[in-house]
Amino acid sequence: MTPMPTSRPYHHGDLRAALLASAERTLREKGAGALSLRELARDAGVSHAAPGRHFKDKQALLDALALDGYARMNQSLTAAAAPADQSFQERVTALARAYLGFAVENPELLELMFARKHDPDSSARFAEAVDQSFGSLTRLIADAQEQGEIVPGDPERIGNVAAASLHGLAALIAGCALDAEETLAGLDDHVHLLLHGLKPRSP
């Protein structure tokens, strides 16, 4: 008689991707504190040592989750900023909607992405990911300056003001101070105020 296997064989083609998907589910449902490489291995049906081939420790797993989040978010931001036949305000609104859409769908992941604690080995990759995310907005601002649509100045400094405003909305939504649906519905007005300010103008 052939002996029964003592453990369930692993059939996924990509263990790393499967572990990240499982880790993100745990992050959403229980928070980062509940993440454990051993638990992920058990969920995947592999030995407790198997995840170590991809993540040396829990921090490496968290960093990989955050970097994956940046990759997905940056893909959405790049696509949103792409149409060149729209006005500057329309393009900024599309970019803002993409960012807030990601934030609303992934609040725990976004918080992890902006966490300060990362493995030093990942620092360069995080710097590149952050530069790419801010780069979408910076390029929009630089293009608008060339067209005379907005005031001159350092595009990165102007972009920081806009990014802080959008991230503030995301933080308020995550903290339940703002309703996500209402905020997204009023995003056109928010971007208009951001771009045109509060000072009254002569008719």
Q: CA 95 → CA 75, 85, 123, 159, distances in Å?
A: 11, 15, 26, 12
Residue 16: inside a domain: no
The model's pLDDT over 169-184, given as tens digits with 9 standing for 90+, comes to 999 999 999 999 999 9
Given a cut of 70, whether residue 6 has pLDDT beyond it is no
The model's pLDDT over 46-68, given as tens digits with 9 standing for 90+, comes to 887 888 788 889 998 999 999 99
Instruction: Show the tokens assigned to 192.
Output: 């208009």
The model's pLDDT over 107-165, given as tens digits with 9 standing for 90+, comes to 999 999 988 777 777 888 999 998 999 888 999 999 999 988 889 999 999 999 999 99
Residue 37: inside a domain: no
Q: Residue 153 has what pLDDT?
A: 94
Instruction: Show the tokens assigned to 53.
Output: 């081939």
Q: CA 29 → CA 93, 108, 146, distances in Å?
A: 31, 9, 46
Grade residue 84 by pLDDT with cuts at 50, 70 and 90. Answer: confident
Count of residues making up the chain: 203
Q: Residue 202 has what pLDDT?
A: 65
Measured between alpha carbons, how far is 164 from 180 in angstroms, rounded to an integer?
17
Q: Which domain holds residue 92?
A: 82-196
Given a cut of 50, whether residue 10 has pLDDT beyond it is no
Residue 22: inside a domain: no
Measured between alpha carbons, how far is 88 from 77 in angstroms, rounded to an integer?
15
Mean pLDDT of 25-42: 90
Residue 118: inside a domain: yes
Residue 20: inside a domain: no
What's the total number of domains in the chain? 1
**pTM, to two decimals:** 0.84
What's the chain's average pLDDT?
Answer: 87
Range with the poorest average pLDDT among 23-32, 35-44, 167-176: 35-44
Q: Residue 122 has what pLDDT?
A: 80
Task: For residue 184, give the CATH number of its domain.
Answer: 1.10.357
Residue 104: inside a domain: yes
Given a cut of 60, whether residue 2 has pLDDT beyond it is no
Residue 129: inside a domain: yes
Residue 67: inside a domain: no
Q: Residue 199 has what pLDDT?
A: 76
Measured between alpha carbons, how far is 36 from 192 in angstroms, rounded to an integer?
44
Measured between alpha carbons, how far is 118 from 173 in angstroms, rounded to an integer?
25
